[in-house]
Amino acid sequence: MAAPITCAFPDVRRADAGTILVSSWTLPAPGVQKQAADLVIEEWEHQERPDAMLSFTTFLSENGREVLNYAQWTDDDSHREWARAARCSEDISRVDRMVLGIERPGEVRYSLYRSYATEEGAESTPGALVTPIFGTEGPDNQRAFIDGVIAILERTRPPGLLAAHFHTSKDGRRVLNHAEWRDMSAWRRFAESGGTVELGMMIEGLEGVTPAPTQPSVPRYVPYKSLVNVAAP
């Protein structure tokens, strides 16, 4: 059953997304980045999809070596039921047949906790995604960290940052900042101007939080293709 494909960012704050599955694939060579992303989108596009699968979006890394997959589902049980059925199938994924040597560290289950959003973000289309990930030691650490970061963002309002959606892993061990920027240049100006210094000092004062890598190793992506299976309510 075909579905329309766009190059839009996912509607991160849609109310019916009870679980978000995020995985990053490392590719054997830069030249197969788009091929791998195309193949996984095509697999979703032409198969029977459960209504619990809301959307699936792929991003391409700036370095040409990664594909980031961002999937929204209604709940964990529905995804696990689908995954069990998929594992019982004898079909080999076209991605694995066509692109050899993909490294998959595994997907992480997240929930959206809070978002920082600007008026510009409501009227503009982001051109870049930056995804720093922070280690945490439980839900209390996750929430305290996110609340502190959003307080700084609301006060400093970094130019070019359209939105920052903070996801908490369901095991309590990490926080993902899904940061939508006007473009990659805006993020670089922020990073090079010392915009991360105050955030770094705040993080150092928190127990149970491990800082994310800083430039240039923080993951950076551009949007590629998105499939919306169920429209947002």
The angle, 0 to 180 degrees and rounded to 10, between the axes of the packed helices 197-204 and 139-156 is 150
Residues 6 or more apart whose Cβ sits within 8 Å of residue 106? 23
Output the pTM of the full model. 0.93
pLDDT tops 90 at residue 173? yes
CA 73, chain centre distance (Å): 14
pLDDT for res 90: 45
DSSP E strand stretches across 27-83: 53-61, 66-73
Secondary structure (DSSP) of 141-184: HHHHHHHHHHHHHHHH--TTEEEEEEEEETTSSEEEEEEEES-H
Under the banding of pLDDT at 50, 70 and 90, the label for residue 211 is confident
Lowest mean pLDDT among 29-38, 107-116, 137-146, 189-198: 189-198
pLDDT tops 50 at residue 42? yes
Q: Hey, how many other C-beta atoms are within 10 angstroms of the C-beta on 112?
A: 20
Distances (CA, A) of 37 to 51, 93, 119, 224: 22, 13, 31, 8
CA distance 40 to 69: 9
pLDDT for res 177: 96
Residues 6 or more apart whose Cβ sits within 8 Å of residue 47? 1
Percent of the chain with pLDDT over 90: 68
pLDDT tops 50 at residue 28? yes
pLDDT for res 22: 98
Residues 6 or more apart whose Cβ sits within 8 Å of residue 80? none
Under the banding of pLDDT at 50, 70 and 90, the label for residue 89 is low
Residues 6 or more apart whose Cβ sits within 8 Å of residue 20? 70, 71, 72, 73, 109, 110, 111, 112, 167
